[in-house]
Structure 1
């Protein structure tokens, strides 16, 4: 069996004009998980990311200088676009600026997106699930035994829920649990694909490491 290790990007810039930029904490988180993998002598045979800057920069800060393969199916769904579509361009200020309110509204919005309860989003939920599955197949169609992927919370939630055979709502429940630079591990061989470990952060399990924990 081969391993697919999917790591969520480091903390990005919530509430800033450009979310797709790692914060200083995000770079620290990436360095910590990269150091852990080296300490474990876990050497990837293949590197894959989405096309987002925060994903590629996470891989770089982990200490991998080799250019990764890129598959856009690993990109996060556009949560700003979904909120705009649901609220018809009038997203409440509290939803945009307050973390608790934002993620509560995002959860409800994704559930409505899954049910096709509003129009105007640039991507349907069916299109999202199809591209994530395409990316999973791309990452596992290989002779490599250790594939390292850097992606985002929604993609990880979707990939995990499908591997578990869970209802579609589980995707968002898992999405909101995924910590920055958490590791989710799958085993694969041919058409076999199974979850081995979800949302692991051993690199945070020290007195200093606990200061690096974040979810957004």
Structure 2
């Protein structure tokens, strides 16, 4: 069998002018996971991230902390959906969502429901169907590129990883929404592939983090 580890990026810089970069805690989370993987003897054949800054920074942090002699590959198929686009298209706004993470999550889930309905596709740069098709293709590329006994690490974001998990659970939008809500920064989802196809064996494992380092945004 082959193994794919899907890693959510470390905590980004919510509430700042540049969200798309790791916060100091996000850097700590990335280093903690890299140290954990090194101690576990995990040596991936490849490591890939999406093209977003927080994803690339997390991947580089893993490489450095785990002391992997691996070059980072970039695959934009692993990029997160455009949350700003979804919120901008939503009919009502909540000014507190700019600084309150809980208010932001509530607004994002309402906007995501509108996005996924398919009734307003012209309002979005990427439709929900296009997003899920993109993630499906990225997951297939990553798994199909592995030989027997090989492993790979992919660094992505909560929405992407939640959809990959929902797909493997034969779930749909509601399953995706529930998984997306609880995905932890630097959490690891493990997928094995063999004769019976792709199987998710763990979701959102974050045992490498002290409890005070667990974050969701």
Query: Normalization by structure 2: what TM-score?
Result: 0.92
Deviation at 1:67, TM superposition (A): 2.9
Distance in 2, Cα, partners of 1:143 & 1:160: 19
Unaligned regions of 5+ residues in structure 2, if any? none
| Runs of 4+ more than 4 Å apart | none
Q: 1:189 aligns with which of 164, 185, 194?
A: 194
Note the alpha carbon deviations across 1:90-120, whole angstroms, 9 max, x for none.
7331222221111011112111111024342
User: Does structure 1 residue 170 correspond to structure 2 residue 172?
Assistant: no
The residue that corresponds to 2:110 in the other structure is 108
The residue that corresponds to 1:67 in the other structure is 71
Query: Normalization by structure 1: what TM-score?
Result: 0.92
What aligned pairs does 1:135-174 form with structure 2 within 5 A after superposition? Answer: 135-144=138-147, 145-174=150-179
The residue that corresponds to 1:9 in the other structure is 9
Contact 2:46 2:71 in 1 (8 A): no
Deviation at 1:191, TM superposition (A): 7.3
Distance in 1, Cα, partners of 2:191 & 2:46: 15
The residue that corresponds to 2:211 in the other structure is 210
**1:190/1:133 Cα in 2 relative to 1: closer, same or farther (>3 Å)?**
farther
Deviation at 1:135, TM superposition (A): 0.5
The residue that corresponds to 2:132 in the other structure is 129
What aligned pairs does 1:67-86 form with structure 2 within 5 A after superposition? Answer: 67-86=71-90
Deviation at 1:152, TM superposition (A): 0.3
Deviation at 1:169, TM superposition (A): 1.4
Note the alpha carbon deviations across 1:9-34, whole angstroms, 9 max, x for none.
00001111111110000000000000
**1:70/1:192 Cα in 2 relative to 1: closer, same or farther (>3 Å)?**
same
Secondary structure of the 1:176 match is: helix
Secondary structure of the 2:22 match is: coil
What's the C-alpha RMSD, in Å, of the aligned pairs? Answer: 1.5
Distance in 2, Cα, partners of 1:214 & 1:161: 21
Note the alpha carbon deviations across 1:151-183, whole angstroms, 9 max, x for none.
000000000000000132111110111000000
Secondary structure of the 1:180 match is: coil
Distance in 2, Cα, partners of 1:210 & 1:131: 33
